[in-house]
Amino acid sequence: MLALGAGLAACSGGNSGGGSVGADGKATVVWSTWGSADELTRYKEFNKEFMERHPDITVKFQPVAGYGDYHSKLLAQLTSNTAPDVFYVGDDMVGQFVDSKRLMPMKKLMESDASETKPDDFFPGLFGAAEKDGEYYAAPNDSNPDVLWYDKEALKAAGVTEDPATLAESGEWTTDKFLEMNEKLHDAGLIGSMYWNYWATHWSWLKSQGAEDPYNEAGEFTANKDDKTVELMQQLGDLFQSKTFVVADTMPETAGADSQFVTHKAGFFVQGRYTIGSLEAADVKNDSYDIVRWPTPDGEAAPTGVATSFLAMNGKTKVKDAAFTFWTEYLSAEGQTFRLQGGGNAVPSIKGADDVVLEEDYPAHAQTFLDMRDIGFEDYAAEARVPGLPVAIAEEFQKLYEGKEDAQTALDNAAELVKKRSAE
């Protein structure tokens, strides 16, 4: 047991801090992220390939299995000057890290001759709270637009004869069509649509249905003062209360969202490209499943949420040049292609790597991932910069979905949350 513990400590890197330059002039770069076993394997493969191309740089990887404790540990390491040189930051935490003033400003480095990742190479809606006052403190390492996965078999069982993606191609994928399909699914004893309760669900619903942004240019929450927004939030709440829509977070483990979807008991499941892995694991990756963008009142495409995580550099790294070489190559079109090809679970955040999404022709309308990313948006910076605020707002809206509050009350309470937490 002692030997095992020592081995795990060596693998994780503990609190050993960032890299250094050896007597031979060879730099060591330490970097860290969380991830599944498959993801961590892919990262290690990238590290190996990177070191083969850069024999003067050694990469030490500090993987963390769980997302929950990752950021608190990383903030403590930054405070004590023991943090890695390069590290991932979640989109719900990046604003807090930017405001900590512990991250390396990246704009000048990104614009330098050594860069393979110019600011304009990235899709602008994906920076979110990683951009502040014209400076970039991190960049999106890849992305996941929240598309509407749908099951043709479940739709057919409910008597739906039209195909959502075909309707979208002809500009006929309207909110009315979508809700009509959901009603048929519900009446047939099936789940209409499953959503995760987080920022991309409620803000995408509002944005796709024509509401104004919930925050004004000054970062003030104004959604509770807009009649159309209140009406649309009440519509969303009513759909959850009627069980036509289901909050995936609250589903029992024995009948979770993934299992319901792969057994043809739900029509729509709102998730990213990683859903391919769930279908493969259940051995149901077939033509029954496809994707479509969010419906709109007029059938035209609208911006919706794109989840990302970010790659940042330690502002006090002792190996700045080597760390940036790793950072920029990891995020480059070539780097993202390496990490995401062969069934990768995300969509590139940078121009020039889109072929990885289309390489296997699955799902049939995989181009939808790219189209939604191109016009999509990350969580609003005014929200993402405040620790715990995105989760607190989602918890408030959960009360609406459960019928404990009406939309006006939920939005008023959200406004109070924003005001209070921003002041804190």
pLDDT interval class at 14 (50, 70, 90)? very low
Check residue 20 and give its pLDDT: 93
The CATH number that domain 8-143+307-375 falls under is: 3.40.190.10
Domain 147-304+386-423 in the same topology as domain 8-143+307-375: yes
Whether the pTM exceeds 0.75: the reply is yes
CA distance 79 to 40: 26
| Nearest Cα to Cα of residue 261 among 210, 198, 191 | 191
Domain 147-304+386-423 belongs to what architecture?
3-Layer(aba) Sandwich (3.40)
Q: Dihedral sign, CA of 91, 93, 96, 97?
A: negative
Q: Is the pLDDT of residue 7 over 80?
A: no
Min mean pLDDT across 253-262, 335-344, 365-374, 410-419 is at: 335-344
CA distances (Å), origin 75, targets 18, 70, 216, 382? 14, 9, 30, 21
Coil, strand or helix at 86: strand
pLDDT interval class at 8 (50, 70, 90)? very low
Give the residue extent of every domain in the chain.
Answer: 8-143+307-375, 147-304+386-423
Q: Dihedral sign, CA of 121, 123, 128, 132?
A: positive
Q: What is the pLDDT of residues 327-385, one digit of tens each?
A: 999 999 999 999 998 877 899 999 999 999 999 899 999 999 999 999 999 999 999 99
What's the mean per-residue pLDDT of the chain?
93
Q: Is the pLDDT of residue 134 over 70?
A: yes
What lies within 8 Å, CB to CB, of 231 at 6+ separation is 407
Check residue 6 and give its pLDDT: 34
Check residue 37 and give its pLDDT: 83
Q: Which two tokens stand for residue 315?
A: 């502002």
Q: What is the pLDDT of residues 46-89, one digit of tens each?
A: 999 999 999 999 999 999 878 888 999 999 999 999 999 999 99
Check residue 16 and give its pLDDT: 52
